[in-house]
Amino acid sequence: MNTFSEKVKKMRLERNMTQGEVAKKVGITLQSVSFYENGTKRPRNKTMFKLAEALGVSYKYLTDDNCDDPYEDIDKDPYMGEIQGKYDNKAMRDVGELLDESKALFAGGRLSQDEKDAFFEAVMKAYITCKEAAREKYGKKWG
């Protein structure tokens, strides 16, 4: 079990990247990367998604100290990132659960990756449409 700071440093070194290179890819300062690696600070969700992408790992790997697989749930990241900027943390949890439950449908491996991606995109479009309709009807609290 590794902490966020240990994972950031480990993955940066495995990728043969400097702190400056990571900072540039993420769009943050070198000092921020240093803070992340020494455990002084943690990034907000939006930056965490960018950091995960820059390091080539999943958001879950960086945020869950119990996750030791750098690629666990990496296929969910684009969808989670889309929700993160628009809605609250509850919506992110809801989408994560929705995608997890949907993955069970493909356990037999009968669909191609393109077909799975198309399904996930359709699910996400439906989710966002429903959230926006609730927001319009009931106010921001519901969206």
137 and 87 in one domain?
yes
Round to whole Å and give the CA distance between 7 and 26. Answer: 16
pLDDT (0 to 100) of residue 16: 97
Give the residue carrying structure tokens 């449409």: 129
State which of 63, 88, 114 marks the end of a domain.
Answer: 63
Its domain, for residue 83, covers 75-142
Question: Domain of 12: which CATH number?
Answer: 1.10.260.40
CA within 13 Å, CB half, 35: 10
Provide the whole-model pTM. 0.78
Q: For residues 10-20, give the mean pLDDT.
A: 97
89 and 42 in one domain?
no
Closest CA to 5 of 65, 54, 80, 72: 65
pLDDT (0 to 100) of residue 55: 97
93 and 59 in one domain?
no
Report the domain count for the chain: 2
* 70 occurs within a structural domain: no
38 and 89 in one domain?
no
59 and 79 in one domain?
no
pLDDT single digits (tens) 19-74: 999 999 999 999 999 999 999 999 998 899 999 999 999 999 999 999 999 999 88
Round to whole Å and give the CA distance between 96 and 83. Answer: 10
Looking at every residue in the chain, the average pLDDT score rounds to 87
Residue 47's φ and ψ, nearest 5 degrees, are: -70, -35
* 48 occurs within a structural domain: yes
pLDDT exceeds cutoff 80 at 105 = no
